[in-house]
Structure 1
Amino acid sequence: MTTSTPTPVPIPSPAHPQRTRVRRATRLAVAFTIACTVSACARLATVDSNALWKIVDIRCVPSQQATGTPGQCTTVNLGKRYVILKDIVGRSQHLLIPTDRITGIESPLILAPHAQDYWVDAWDARRYVEGSVKRTLPDDQLGLEINSQYRRSQNQLHIHIDCMRREVSLALARHANDTPGEWRWETIDGRRYRIMRVTSLDEASNPFRIVARDNEDAEAMAAQTILVTGAGPSADTDGWLILNSGIDVDNGSGSAEGLMDHACRVADAP
C-alpha cells in the first residue's frame, strides 16, 4: 500500500509519448532507483510485505469458515474468493484482496482463462466507501487503483477502493464521450497516462487484460499501474475510464494512487 501527497492537476496535454520496450530491465532499475528515496526505501524495508496476506489467510478466511463472521475484514466472499478490508490509511479507503495467493499485477494468475473479475467485484464494493462517508457519491468521484510491483509495499494483490480527487475528476471529464476501446494520452500531475473508455469491466474489458495486450509478459506487467473511475456520474450508462501508466513510459508513473483522495474531501461538498 502506498500513499501520495495530492498536488495540483495541470491542464491535460494531448502529446503522445513513445512507449519504449528496448532494454527494459535497465530502465526499470533506473526508474525504481529514482522513485525510491532513501527514506522511502528504509520505510518499505521495515514493512512486513506479507501483512495483508496474513490478515486474509489467518484472520479473515478462517473466521468466516468457522463462525460466519469476517474477522478483521469488512466482508469475506468465499464463493468469489476475495475479501474487502478497511485500510488503516484514510477515512474511507478499502481494499479488495484475493483469498488465493496472488502476488500482484505481474502475476499470470490474473490473466488465466477463468480468473476472477476482481475489478467488477471491487467496483461493486465502492458502497463501503460510501458507507464510511455516509453519503452516495457519483461514480466519477470514486475510483479503483493497483500499483506496480515497484511502487507497493505488499506482495499480495490488492485493489484500492476510494474517492477521487475533485480536480482529477474534472480533468478526466473531457473523456466522458470518448469512443470506447481507444487509448488517448494525457498528462495528469505531471505524469503521462493513457486513458480508455470502456462499457464494462469484465471479460475482454477486464482492465488487466486490456493493459496486458501490449504488455505481454510478467516483467512488462510488473511496471504498470492501473486506475479505474466512472466516465460520468453513472457508470452503468456512461461507462468507465481506465488509466494506465508505468515506469517504462517516458515521464510515466508506477503508481496512480495519488490521483485518489484518501481523505475523501468530495464527500464534504454541500
Structure 2
Amino acid sequence: MWNDVQYCTHGTLPPPPQKPPTCLKTTPNYVVLHGKPETTHNYLLLPSCRITGIECPFLETPQAANYWNDAWENARPGGAVPVQYRSIGLGINSMGARHFQQMHIHMAGVSDGTQLRLQDLEKKGLVATSPSHWNNPKYQVGITGSKGVRTYRALVLPDLARNLFALVDRYVVIPSGLNMADQTLIVVPKMTTAGFAGAFYVLSSDNSIHDGTSTCDQLLVYAP
C-alpha cells in the first residue's frame, strides 16, 4: 500500500509484478484508492506520509490530519468518491487484524440493520453522548455483523472535529490498561430517509471485552 501511495503522490512506479493503482483522489495529506473487491462501496483513504497503523502515536498529535473527517467528506453523498450505499461505514482495523502496514481507513457500506440498531440503542439511552462516558459498561452494546453478534463501545458525536484516535486512547485504552494496537474503530454516520441526520456513531472494540472484536470488517459491507 505504501508503494501505491508513492505512485499517487510522486509517480514512483511500484516494483513488479505489482501494477500501478488507480488514484481516485490525491491531496497533500491523503490518497483515495479502490478497495478489494472493487465495488462502488469499497474505497480506502491512506495518509500520504508513512504511518503504519492505529497504534502510531503521531495520529494523536495536532500535526496529524483529520483522516476520519477527510474520509467522510469523500465518502458522503456528493463527495469526491461517494460510497454508493444506503448507509456508510468508515473503519480501521487493529494491528493484528490488518493485512498491510500502511494505515488505511475503509470507506464502505453498512447494513440497514446496523443503522437501525444504532438508532434504537440511542433512543434507549445506550449510546454515550460524551467521550468521558465511552468506557462505561452501560454503553457496551451488541450489534449483529457478518460473524454474528459482537460487542462495541458506542458513542455518538455531533461531528468529526475531534481526534478520534486521541479520544479512544484517552477515554478507553488508558483507563482500562489496554493497548492502542488492539483497537478497532468504526464510524457510522446517522442516516434517515431524509439523508444525513447530523451525527456520527463511533464504535470501539477489542478482544478484552466479552464478544468483542479487533476488526471493523464484520460490520462493513464491501462486496455487492
* TM-score between the two structures when normalised by the length of structure 1: 0.66
Match of 2:149 among 186, 190, 194: 190
Please state how far the C-alpha of 1:263 moved relative to its aligned partner. Answer: 2.8
Which of the numbers 72, 79, 82 marks the counterpart of 2:22? 72
Q: Aligned pairs, how many?
A: 195
Which residue in the other structure is 1:201 paired with? 160
Is residue 143–residue 162 contact of structure 1 (8 Å, CA) maintained in 2?
A: yes
Q: Which has the higher contact order (CA 8 A, sep 6+)?
A: 1
**Counterpart contact for 2:128–2:154, Cα < 8 Å:** no
Alignment of 1:68-147 (within 5 A): 72-78=22-28, 81-92=29-40, 93-126=42-75, 127=79, 128-130=81-83, 133=84, 141-147=87-93
RMSD: 2.4
| Matching residue within 172, 197, 210 for 1:250 | 210
- Contact kept, 8 Å, 1:74 with 1:86, in 2: the verdict is yes
In 2, Cα distance between equivalents of 1:197 and 1:241 = 4
- CA shift for structure 1 position 216: 3.5
Give the whole-Å Cα distance in 2 for the aligned partners of 1:222 and 1:125. Answer: 26
What is the letter of the counterpart of residue 101 of structure 1?
R
Structure 1 residue 219 displacement after superposition: 6.8
Question: Per-residue displacement from partner, 1:24-57 (whole Å, max 9, x unpaired)?
Answer: xxxxxxxxxxxxxxxxxxxxxxxxxxxx111101
Amino acid at match of 1:89: P
State the percentage of identical aligned residues: 29
Cα drift, residue 162 of structure 1: 0.9
1:179 CA drift (Å): 5.8
Q: Name the structure 1 match of 2:180.
A: 221
Aligned counterpart, 2:17: none
Classify 1:245/1:129 alpha carbon distance in 2 versus 1 (closer, same or farther; 3 Å).
same
Q: Alpha-carbon deviations, 1:111-163, whole Å to 9, x = none?
A: 01221110000001103234xx4xxx55xx10100000010001110000011
Aligned residue number for residue 9 of structure 2 = 61
SS of the residue corresponding to residue 65 of structure 2 reads: coil
- Measured against aligned partners, the alpha-carbon deviations of 1:72-112 in whole angstroms (never above 9, x if no partner) come to 3101001xx10011113241211000011000000001001
Query: Contact 1:200–1:240 at 8 Å: present in 2 too?
Result: yes
Q: Which runs of 4+ in 1 moved over 6 A?
A: none
Structure 1 runs not aligned, ≥5 long: 1-51, 65-69, 265-270
Q: Which is richer in strand?
A: 2
| Structure 2: stretches of 5+ with no match in the other structure | 13-19
Counterpart code for 1:62? H
Task: State the Cα distance separating 1:238 from its structure 2 match.
Answer: 3.2
The structure-2 alpha-carbon separation of the partners of 1:165 and 1:144, relative to structure 1 and needing over 3 Å to count, comes to same
The higher radius of gyration belongs to 1
Q: Secondary structure at the match of 1:157?
A: coil
Shift of 1:249: 2.2
Distance (whole Å) between structure 2 residues aligned to residue 157 and residue 219 of structure 1? 20
Distance (Å, rounded) in 2 between the aligned partners of 1:154 and 1:124: 24
**What's the TM-score once normalised by structure 2's chain length?**
0.78
* Aligned-residue offset at 1:71: 6.7
* Structure with the higher fraction of residues in helix conformation: 1
**Which residue is 1:16 aligned to?**
none
Equivalent residue of 1:232, what SS? strand
d(CA) in 1 for partners of 2:66, 2:121: 24
